């Protein structure tokens, strides 16, 4: 969203709040289940690098304080789904979910949740938890973002590809970055990917070892997953390699591999799932059910009501790119109303647009 449009939206939301429309929307959507979605908490400058993925500690704490002050009942995912099906959800019932399982989820996110006595579900992708290396794709993207250099000679990084990249040209820079990512993900072992990231850092003048030591792109390791579970965090499934192919055998392998890593750590059968990158289709549903999956969350925005498919649950995505008033509007259900009204207007105008 461009900046002028965002400012106009915030003005509209503040006016709506002042007029009592957010309170009215919350009343009319009180039977809707709110499922919040977070990813990582920024330990350094990650929220500037990727504000949709990382949230600052003070922003997250502000959200938790707002939920408490505004009397949003935060309950476990398991309780919410049981009561969604049979009825009896508390008004404005809310569930907190966190995707991926970054190290920052263990510390400080879990600490803040404990301070507010809020339960949460963390969907953990397990490949990098086992490898205990930073997520390769994020590290490459971060170093391309972080560098102050203006030119990169790819021959020093990918001798088989080569070529000079202007880092001042956004398109050239993006194409070069994806060449490195694709080569690393498709043609390298994990050990070779780590070495490739180190070499790339040298050529971009970004200290890969410093990034690695900071753990800003690490997934929780086995000990941290166990400790989080002992602290009451509900650990659930998010695939092993953060992908859900359209092929049945490959999709099932992703979930089985994920279960194989996580279930011994938490000591229970895992039955809830989150689609990686929010990419899903109904063709996945029979495969999930065959593996005993009871629910699956998407990145589709909105509230959930009785009749919402449990394998297609909607969520409210939060991050550093979301202002406090936008967060309040989504929690109130006012965002759902605006999207409904916008869609209605577009359908009414469609016959006249041709």
Q: Are residues 203 and 159 in the same domain?
A: yes
The pLDDT value recorded for residue 153 is 94
Question: Rounded distance, CA 254 to CA 245, Å?
Answer: 9
Nearest one of 130, 121, 131 to 273, comparing CA atoms: 121
User: CA angle 343-18-24, nearest 5°?
Assistant: 55
Strands (E) located in the chain: 34-38, 40-41, 54-55, 94-100, 121-124, 151-153, 164-166, 234-237, 272-274, 295-301, 313-317
Chain center to CA of 74: 19
Nearest one of 276, 272, 270 to 250, comparing CA atoms: 276
Question: Rounded distance, CA 241 to CA 186, Å?
Answer: 13
Question: Rounded distance, CA 253 to CA 268, Å?
Answer: 19
Q: 177, 194, 214: which is the final residue of a domain?
A: 214
Nearest one of 187, 280, 184, 188 to 238, comparing CA atoms: 280
pLDDT at 163 over 80: yes
Question: Rounded distance, CA 43 to CA 218, Å?
Answer: 11
Strands (E) located in 93-177: 94-100, 121-124, 151-153, 164-166
Asked whether 173 and 167 are in contact (CB, 8 A), the reply is yes
The pLDDT value recorded for residue 161 is 87
Q: What percent of the chain has pLDDT over 90?
A: 91
- Region 133-155: mean pLDDT is 97
Q: Tokens 């390769």, residue?
A: 136
Q: Are residues 59 and 194 in the same domain?
A: no
Strand partners, 109: none
Confidence at 354, pLDDT banded by 50, 70, 90: low
Nearest one of 290, 308, 300, 221 to 251, comparing CA atoms: 290
User: Where residue 45 sits, what CATH number does that domain have?
Assistant: 3.20.20.370
Query: Is 280 a member of any domain?
Result: yes
The pLDDT value recorded for residue 353 is 59
95-120 burial: b if 16+ Cβ within 10 Å, else e: bbbbbbbbbbbbbebbebbeeeebbb
Question: Rounded distance, CA 97 to CA 77, Å?
Answer: 8
Query: Is 8 a member of any domain?
Result: no
End-to-end Cα, the chain, rounded Å:
26
pLDDT tens profile 283-323: 999 999 999 999 999 999 999 999 999 999 999 999 999 99
Q: How many folded domains does the chain comprise?
A: 2
Q: Are residues 329 and 255 in the same domain?
A: yes
Q: Are residues 182 and 60 in the same domain?
A: no
Q: Are residues 167 and 148 in the same domain?
A: yes
Q: 214, 246, 268: which is the final residue of a domain?
A: 214
Query: Is 9 a member of any domain?
Result: no
pLDDT tens profile 50-105: 999 999 999 999 999 999 999 999 999 999 999 998 889 999 999 999 999 999 99
Question: Rounded distance, CA 42 to CA 47, Å?
Answer: 6
Q: Are residues 70 and 89 in the same domain?
A: yes
Confidence at 147, pLDDT banded by 50, 70, 90: very high
Question: Rounded distance, CA 12 to CA 197, Å?
Answer: 45
Q: Domain limits at 116?
A: 26-131+219-333
Nearest one of 336, 340, 332 to 302, comparing CA atoms: 336
User: CA angle 67-268-131, nearest 5°?
Assistant: 85
pLDDT at 1 over 70: no
């Amino acid at each position: 969203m461009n900046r002028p449009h965002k400012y106009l939206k915030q003005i509209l939301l503040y006016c709506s709040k002042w007029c009592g429309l957010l309170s009215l929307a919350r009343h009319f959507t009180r039977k809707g289940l709110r499922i919040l979605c977070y990813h990582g908490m920024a330990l350094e400058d990650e929220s500037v690098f990727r504000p949709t993925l990382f949230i600052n500690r003070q922003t997250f704490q502000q959200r938790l304080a707002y939920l408490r002050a505004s009397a949003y009942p935060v309950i476990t995912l398991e309780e919410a789904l049981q009561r969604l099906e049979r009825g009896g959800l508390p008004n404005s019932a809310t569930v907190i979910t966190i995707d991926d399982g970054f190290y920052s989820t263990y510390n400080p996110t879990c600490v803040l949740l404990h301070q507010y006595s809020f339960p949460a579900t963390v969907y953990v992708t397990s490949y990098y938890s086992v490898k205990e290396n930073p997520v390769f794709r994020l590290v490459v993207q971060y170093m391309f973002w972080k560098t102050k250099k203006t030119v990169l000679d790819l021959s020093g990084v990918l001798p088989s590809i080569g070529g000079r990249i202007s880092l001042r040209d956004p398109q050239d820079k993006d194409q070069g970055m994806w060449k490195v990512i694709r080569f690393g993900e498709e043609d390298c072992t994990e050990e070779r990917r780590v070495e490739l990231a180190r070499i790339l850092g040298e050529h971009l003048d970004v200290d890969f070892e410093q990034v690695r030591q900071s753990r800003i792109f690490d997934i929780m390791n086995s000990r941290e997953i166990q400790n989080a579970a002992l602290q009451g965090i509900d650990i659930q499934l998010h695939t092993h390699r953060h992908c859900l192919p359209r092929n049945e055998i490959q999709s099932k392998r992703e979930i089985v591999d994920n279960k194989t890593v996580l279930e011994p750590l938490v000591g229970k059968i895992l039955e809830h799932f989150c689609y990686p990158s929010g990419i899903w289709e109904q063709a996945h549903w029979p495969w999930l059910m065959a593996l005993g999956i009871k629910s699956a969350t998407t990145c589709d925005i909105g509230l959930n009501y009785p009749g919402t498919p449990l394998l297609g649950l909607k969520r409210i995505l939060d991050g550093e790119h979301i202002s406090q008033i936008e967060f309040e509007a989504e929690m109130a259900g006012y965002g759902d109303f605006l999207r409904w009204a916008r869609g209605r207007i577009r359908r009414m105008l469609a016959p006249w647009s041709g």
